[in-house]
Amino acid sequence: MRKQLAAETFGTFWLVFGGCGSAVLAAGYPELGIGFVGVSLAFGLTVLTMAYAVGGISGGHFNPAVSLGLAVAGKFDWKSFFPYVVAQLVGGVLAAIALYLIVSGKSDFAGAGGFASNGYGANSPGGFSMMSALIIEVLLTAFFLIIILGSTSKLVPAGFAPISIGLALTLIHLISIPVTNTSVNPARSTAVALFADVWALQQLWLFWVAPLIGAAIGAVIWKALLSPDTAE
């Protein structure tokens, strides 16, 4: 368990540092900024690389919603759920601390601002409502779990799951960055919200509730309709 929790900590650190770091440091850089597409790819690459690096140790969740969904689907032991969530939060917060220290060293630093936090209403990049945010976070997390469960099932050749999962997370970000700045991961949302403007913590509840509900829905759909173990 110690190695599993260490793997989840390092994996979630890399996800937050690489994904949110690309948004904070590189997305809007004058003329050479990577934009939405670059940030989307960065998030996908963090999961792909760490799934190969440490996925064999912990399963490569890096996300409380993924841990919940796998537990609901019967692919993960419930007694490990809370330790995994704690490890994921620790990894995410450590990454956010590192990012804040880097950002605060900029010559014109005047506060972290949004700090790649997730939001709705006035804090949505595209001005989308709370209902829009709730729907898209539930829907995309549900599909994320279906993709994870499908790509790791016994019907799929071994060794390719991280590619599918990483590309799925890239696509999820391409769809939803304008709506919520994309969460589908409560640990990612919590880590940066701790250092952002006060609104980020005020709206954080949605980015726990929606991904967890979506993950459970995705797991139930997979288990009932799509799993190779489902009775004919």
CATH number of the domain to which 155 belongs:
1.20.1080.10
Mean residue pLDDT across the chain: 95
**Per the domain annotation, does 67 fall within a domain?**
yes
In this prediction, residue 226 has a pLDDT band, given cuts at 50, 70 and 90, of confident
pLDDT per position as a tens digit, 168-190: 999 999 999 999 999 999 999 99
Residue 187 lies in a domain: yes
Q: Are the CB atoms for 34 and 42 separated by under 8 Å?
A: yes
Q: What percent of the chain has pLDDT over 70?
A: 99
Question: Is residue 65 situated within a structural domain?
Answer: yes
Task: Taking residues 207-224, report their average pLDDT.
Answer: 97
> Average pLDDT, stretch 24-52?
92
User: Which residue, among 1, 216, 232, 20, has the nearest Cα to 118 in the 3D structure?
Assistant: 20
Cα→Cα distances 43→13, 16, 84, 107, 197, Å: 12, 8, 20, 27, 22
Per-residue pLDDT, 166: 97
Average pLDDT rounded to a whole number, residues 80-99? 98
Number of domains in the chain: 1
Give the whole-number percent of the chain exceeding pLDDT 90: 88
pLDDT given at position 155 = 84
Mean pLDDT of 11-16: 98
Residue 93 lies in a domain: yes
Report d(CA 212, CA 194) in Å as an integer.
Answer: 20
pLDDT digit string, tens, across residues 107-148: 888 889 999 999 999 999 999 999 999 999 999 999 999 999
What residue has token string 């696509």?
Answer: 171
- Is 90 within the bounds of a domain? yes
Mean pLDDT of the 215-231 span: 87
The residue range of the domain holding 54 is 2-226
In a domain, residue 232? The reply is no
- Asked if residue 231 belongs to a domain, the reply is no
User: What's the angle, vertex CA 85, arms to CA 163 and CA 118, rounded to 5?
Assistant: 70
* Separation CA 162–CA 52 (nearest Å): 7
Q: How confident is the model at residue 31 (pLDDT cuts 50, 70, 90)?
A: confident
Whether pLDDT at 2 is above 80? yes
Q: Give the pTM.
A: 0.94
Q: What is the pLDDT of residue 232?
A: 45
75: in domain: yes
